Amino acid sequence: MDDRRRIPRVPVFFVVETLNLDNRPVPELQGVVKNITPEGVLLETNVPLHKNDLLQMSFTLPRVQKALNLEARVCWTEVKKAWSTAGVEFMNLESEQREAIMEYLMGLGPDLEF
């Protein structure tokens, strides 16, 4: 895991409503977003993920109440006792999706620079 940060991570906590793995539903897969940037999230899941897994995620950004359905790729993982942590990069992000994420982030800290 490379800890060098190109973009500041903003600590958050919200539930991922739908999380599919490699285009197949995994009903037991649950996830929580722990931090977010315009490029991706730190995701904790109850099922281990693997580097380069492809995800389909849906979640609602708190405060701005924007529902997002995103494709993402797992960049790295770390397995813990009950949960797995993964760095996840958004893929094929549409401009409206990026704008919604930026609106959410700017509401958390107007002095943040991305």
Domains, the chain = 10-107 (2.40.10.220)
So what's the pLDDT on residue 1? 44
Q: Six-digit token pair at 29?
A: 């897969």
Tell me the CA distances in angstroms from 13 to 10, 23, 25, 60, one per residue in order: 10, 25, 23, 11
- Which is higher by pLDDT, 2 or 16? 16
So what's the pLDDT on residue 111? 67
So what's the pLDDT on residue 110? 65
Query: For the residues 105-113, what does the mean pLDDT come to?
Result: 74
So what's the pLDDT on residue 6? 65
Nearest to 61 by CA among 110, 2, 107, 24: 107
Nearest to 20 by CA among 61, 82, 67, 74: 74
So what's the pLDDT on residue 51? 94
- Which is higher by pLDDT, 64 or 92? 92
- In the predicted structure, residue 7 carries a pLDDT above the cut 90: no
Most confident of 26-35, 69-78, 100-109: 69-78
Q: Six-digit token pair at 46?
A: 């109850």
- Rg of the chain taking only CA atoms, in angstroms: 13
Q: How far apart are CA 2 and CA 79, in angstroms?
A: 16
